[in-house]
Structures are given as structure tokens and as C-alpha cells.
Amino acid sequence: MAREYAENEIRPHTAAMDHEGVFRRDLIEKFFSQGFMSIDIPEAFGGSGGTFFMSVLAIEEFARVDASAAVIVDVQNTLVNNALARWGTDEQKKKFLPRLARDTVGAYALSEPNAGSDAFALETRAREDGGDYVLDGRKLWITNAKEAGLFILFATVNRELGYKGITAFLIEAGTPGFSVGKKEDKLGIRASSTCELLLDECRVPKSNVLGEVGKGYKVAIETLNEGRIGIAAQMTGVAPLPEGRRWLIEDHNLGLHLPPPPPRAGLPHRLPWGEGWGEGGT
């Protein structure tokens, strides 16, 4: 289903979206209606009730025709939905999972100007104020930021505690003091938005803390461990693209002597079902 859908619905728009640097909103709406944005969200919350491995297969098939489409589906399923399902309270799941299944794009905001490779050197701060936390800081290189309605954002409640001060927050688009800034003009995967986030006295209720205060590092590490599998699926999908070969040999006659491409071997053929994901697919 994912391969046929990608060929018929995404491929005709790939070149134009990449040139314009904008992903079509109507395609994202179709991703929701077809269940690609909620693959392993339980049916009780409006999702497809699938498994993490099914998400990986869909990501790979989308990447065959458009890496931007793949990364949108990847972040939604392997990072945002995954983190909320694993760490969210019952009330958070009831509030946000149906929206993520229906029409709300999610984004995952960890990186900062001085916290890239050292992801836990966060400078975005969250100070306690009554029943809220007030956040100030800046995030960079956040995928899906332009389209997102919900952000999982990491800040520190006490920098002196190091990684033990890091806390994850659920922030909705439109929250006062929270805004999406500059969109990066990238060399590749251009239709996927990558933006900065700005927080200026952004007030977030304590009920929107994801997981425990000071345990955001666990949310980040465990989620990113599975998110990397999604990235690997993207690369597996992109690798055999025939367009690059045609460009090098047929269209530009560069005189390159490239070996014939190997037979395509998708992830299902490389890994036994369930290996690395457990019996439950997660």
C-alpha cells in the first residue's frame, strides 16, 4: 500500500516541491486520512493500530520517491507519537494522540545553537512559576516546524544539574511567547521544513510536562534510539533511486563507469520480522 501510494500520489509532485522548498498541505492531509501519520497509535485513540516496524516500512517506501515525505512521516511516527505513547500520562494521551492521528503534525525540538552533537548542553531554560513553567531560549534545525501543531521541546530546569535538569514539555503552536522563526534554505530534502524556534516568556502548564521533571534525558535517548531506525529506513529507501544514475550517465554523459545497481532488497528481506523490535513490533 505505501509503495503504490507513494508512486501515485507523491512522485508527481516531488520535483516541484523540492524546487519550491514547500511541502504541499493537501498531501499532508492525505497522509492523515490514509493513516500514515498514526501508524502505531492505538485504534482507541484514532490511530491505525499498527507496529513500529510498519512505520519503518512506510518510511522506506516514501523515501524511494521523496525524502521530504519520508522525513515528515518519520518524525511523526518514530519520535512524536512514540514519545507521547511511551511517556505521556493518560490525560496527555487522551488529549493529544487523537489529534496527532487526525490532523496535527508533530515536531521534536532538542537541538540548539550550542547543543548539537552534545545534545544535552541545553541553554533553553524552564523556571517554575506557580502551576506553570516559563520557558526562554532558542531551538535550531527543527524538522516539521512550519507545519507542526504540537512540539515536544526539551529545556533545563537547572543547568547546574547537567543532564539531570533536562525536562520534556508539550507545547502547542500558538502558545503565547512561542514562535517559529527562520526556515533554513537547504541543499537537499528541501520540501521538509527545518526551522528555528523562539521562546520568550513562554508559559507552559505543569500538566504538559512529558515524563518526569529532570528525566527528559531518558525521553530523548530512548526516543532517538528508535528514531535512528527511521533515519536508516530513509537511507535504505533513497539509496537505490534510479534518478541519480540517469543524471550521471544518460543526461550528463560524464563518462563514469558505474557497476550495475544491485537487486533491490528492502528492509523486510534484510531483517527477519521482529528482529530488533521484539514480538510486539516496538
Cα dist from 144 to 25, 152, 161, 195, whole Å = 12, 12, 30, 8
What would the mean pLDDT of 1-22 be, rounded to a whole number? 95
Lowest mean pLDDT among 4-8, 46-50, 196-200, 251-255: 251-255
What would the mean pLDDT of 275-282 be, rounded to a whole number? 40
**What is the grid cell recorded at 140?**
535550531
Q: How much is the pLDDT for 95? A: 98
What would the mean pLDDT of 108-128 be, rounded to a whole number? 88
| Separation of alpha carbons 78 and 234, rounded Å | 12
Q: Which CATH number fits domain 106-214: 3.40.50.800, 2.40.110.10, 3.40.1160.10, 3.40.50.720?
A: 2.40.110.10
Q: How much is the pLDDT for 154? A: 97
| Separation of alpha carbons 29 and 224, rounded Å | 26
Packing angle of the helix pair 67-74, 216-238 (nearest 10 deg) = 150
- Give the other-Cβ count within 10 Å of 110's Cβ: 25
Lowest mean pLDDT among 141-155, 204-218, 227-241: 227-241
**What is the grid cell recorded at 54?**
510498519
What would the mean pLDDT of 70-86 be, rounded to a whole number? 97
Lowest mean pLDDT among 165-174, 205-214, 259-268, 273-282: 273-282
Q: How much is the pLDDT for 275? A: 44
| Percent of the chain clearing pLDDT 90 (strictly above) | 78
Task: For the chain, give every domain's residue range.
Answer: 2-104+220-238, 106-214
Please identify, in words, the CATH class of the domain defined by 2-104+220-238.
mainly alpha
| Separation of alpha carbons 171 and 148, rounded Å | 10
Q: How much is the pLDDT for 281? A: 38
Q: Could you write out the three-class secondary structure of 145-185?
A: CCCEEEEEEEEECCHHHHHHHEEEEEEECCCCCEEEEEECC
Q: How much is the pLDDT for 265? A: 46
**Whether 145 contacts 179, CB under 8 Å:** no
**Strand 105-109 vs strand 148-156: parallel, antiparallel, or unpaired?**
parallel
What would the mean pLDDT of 261-275 be, rounded to a whole number? 47
Question: How far, rounded to the nearest angstrom, does the alpha carbon of residue 46 sit from its chain's CA centroid?
Answer: 19
Q: How much is the pLDDT for 118? A: 75
- Using pLDDT thresholds of 50, 70 and 90, give the confidence band for residue 121: confident
For residue 213, give the DSSP letter: T
Q: What does the mean pLDDT of the chain come to?
A: 88
| Separation of alpha carbons 10 and 36, rounded Å | 13
Q: Identify any residues that bridge with 128 across adjacent strands, giving them in sequence order.
A: 133
pLDDT tens digit sequence for 223-232: 999 899 999 9
Query: Is pLDDT at 282 greater than 90 in this prediction?
Result: no
**What is the grid cell recorded at 134?**
516559563
